[in-house]
Amino acid sequence: MTTYKAPLREYRFVLSELFDVGSLAQLPGYTEATPDTIEAILEEAGKLCEEVLFPLNRSGDEEGCHYENGVVRTPAGFKEAYRAFREGGWTSLACDPEWGGQGLPHTLAFFVEEMVCSTNMSFGMYPGLSHGAYRALSMHGTEAQKKTYLPKLADGTWSGTMCLTEPHCGTDLGQIRTKAIPAGDGKYRITGTKIFISAGEHDLTDNIVHLVLARLPDAPEGTRGISLFVVPKFLPGPDGGIGARNGVRCGSIEHKMGIKASATCVMNFDEAEGELVGAPHKGMRAMFTMMNAARLGVGVQGLGLAETAYQGARAYAAERLQGRALKGPAYPEKPADPIIVHPDVRRMLLTMKATIEAARALAAWTAIELDVSEKHPDPERRQEAEDLVALLTPIVKAWFTDVGFAAANLGVQIMGGHGYIREHGMEQLVRDARITQLYEGTNGIQALDLVGRKLPMHMGRLLRRFFHPVSGFIEEQAADQTMAEFVLPLAKAFGKLQQATAHIAQAGLKDPDEAGAAAADYLKMFALTASAYMWAKTAKIALAKSEAGEDAGFYRAKLATARFFMARLLPETSSLLTVIASGAKPVMALEAEAF
């Protein structure tokens, strides 16, 4: 069986030592978000996830969702778990108090979400999508729409979805055919079919609020002609409760590789009543609010699954007795040594540990900057934070989900045959993790977003939000000999990243295929360099605390893991630079007919 214990000590290190989460309490509206309060909430969230959500993970996977005549039922125990989740206030954590929320930082919500995804990713889909709908309506909805929907989304009695994909178009949303016909009184009739709609129909909430992309009759071609509409399953009644059933039905649910307890639906809109959200033909701008939040959320899903895979593999490696250590028996009193003595098993565990802990640190940096971008009183500081979050979003989504899938696969490898069979739970993590690399924009699309949009945006301004702090840190630590083993590898990788950036900028101007061919490798190089930056900052703290105190072992483990990352994982940036410099020709030379 897989095991899970909320990594609260890791959270405390990242939030209170590596970063100063206490600074969030100085922001307007966050005065109650003190480190003690955040730690207490994380502890309670850990209990809920360990005791309520984790026990349903395997049974939910085995039972899956049930569809019959447009009705979807979630697996046994999910309704009760959702009721406990909602009544505990977890749906309202980062929502505005004006709409019944608790007004707590996104940073706190990030780490709660990691625990939810670690213990039951399918369950986490339902409240996760609802919060995305909440954010889109809170930023782009009318006051009447906010009053109608936000309190219900915040308290979890209603849930939300995002309806983008159609049978003939996924990423290329410019091909959307769903129609919105004006019906008078500010209402529209929505007709069309959407597919792959997570949580499109289920039995957890009283109502489901669909945010739907559609075209008005006078819409221009392409993405410039897309509008966003709010289309509830049940029309709100005059008292704010449930009214008449709307013209939207679930046509079927998908039978999937993983996340089987999350209903993935075909949704049919038949002259369903909807309201325009935002301006006509500006739906993509509003939907990107939801999509960007979702992309960060999907990255956290990858991180959560990686943590569970690591914990399960670590426990197995410590208990499984097979063979003897290469130097001779490490535990002569036992019939064999635990497999954790073997270098290759340790290599795999350390790869998991090093990438997970770096990703978590990067998640904390991103989350704190997201809070700053929304709450800081200085507009210039808000803009700086917004730039960094925009730059890091495709990296968080793509890299974290790659880490999650890789960690789950390494977990299977460590457990051998036991990892491959259902009983031990690791194979479910592989299946669940695979979708994270696909939805909310495949990881290849994230790489294109990074090189095609984020790098050139505002004449490279976004890129400077990362380059400047890294460069400053390297310069500050240059004279500290105790930091040389961490700073020198970081400096080399950073130099290679700068070279790759310049190459893509120059070559991509002449031929867009040059940027496209380099994109995935560039994103990985960026992620490895950002991870090295996180590890170098971690090492600075750990060096000062690794020799004394009851927690000295924790910091020595940090140093050992940092050394492994610098020596065994970061050198890949050299080969990535070579690949990027090879250009587009090796990729594009083969004629399509020859494949």
Task: Give 146-182 pLDDT, tens digit per residue.
Answer: 999 999 999 999 999 999 999 988 777 878 999 999 9
- Phi and psi at 285, nearest 5°, equal -65, -45
d(CA 529, CA 519): 15
Residue-level pLDDT at 513: 96
Q: Provide, rounded to the nearest whole percent, the portion of the chain with pLDDT above 70.
A: 100
Q: pLDDT value at position 571?
A: 98
User: Token pair for residue 328?
Assistant: 């001779």
| Options 68, 440, 550, 593, the catalytic residue | 440
Across 360-388, average pLDDT: 97
Res. 288: pLDDT tops 90: no
At 218 the pLDDT is 92
In the predicted model, is pLDDT for residue 70 greater than 70?
A: yes
Q: Using CA atoms, how far apart are residues 185 and 295, in angstroms rounded to an integer?
A: 35
Q: Is the pLDDT of residue 1 over 70?
A: no
Residue-level pLDDT at 287: 78
Which run of H or E residues covers position 525? helix 512-545
Q: Which amino acid is at 547?
A: E
Q: What is the mean pLDDT of residues 549-554?
A: 91
pLDDT tens string 82-139: 999 999 999 999 999 999 999 999 999 999 999 999 999 999 999 999 999 999 999 9
* 3-state secondary structure (DSSP) of residue 207: strand
Confidence (pLDDT) at 550? 83
Q: How confident is the model at residue 290 (pLDDT cuts 50, 70, 90)?
A: confident
For the residues 367-372, what does the mean pLDDT come to? 97
Has residue 10 got a pLDDT over 70?
yes
Tokens of 3: 């095991």
Q: What is the pLDDT of residue 291?
A: 81
Q: Tell me what pLDDT residue 214 has.
A: 96
- State the chain's mean pLDDT as an integer: 96
SS3 at position 161: strand
Catalytic site residue 593? no
Q: What is the per-residue pLDDT for 44?
A: 98
Which residue type occupies 323?
A: G
**Secondary structure class of 456 (helix, strand, coil):** coil
pLDDT bin (cut points 50, 70, 90) of residue 240 is confident
**Predicted pLDDT at 56:** 98
Indicate whether 523 pLDDT > 90: yes
In single-letter form, the type of residue at position 377 comes to P
Question: Which of the two residues, 283 and 565, has the higher pLDDT score?
Answer: 565
Percent share of the chain, pLDDT over 90: 94
Q: How many residues does the chain have?
A: 595
Task: Give the SS3 label for residue 476.
Answer: helix
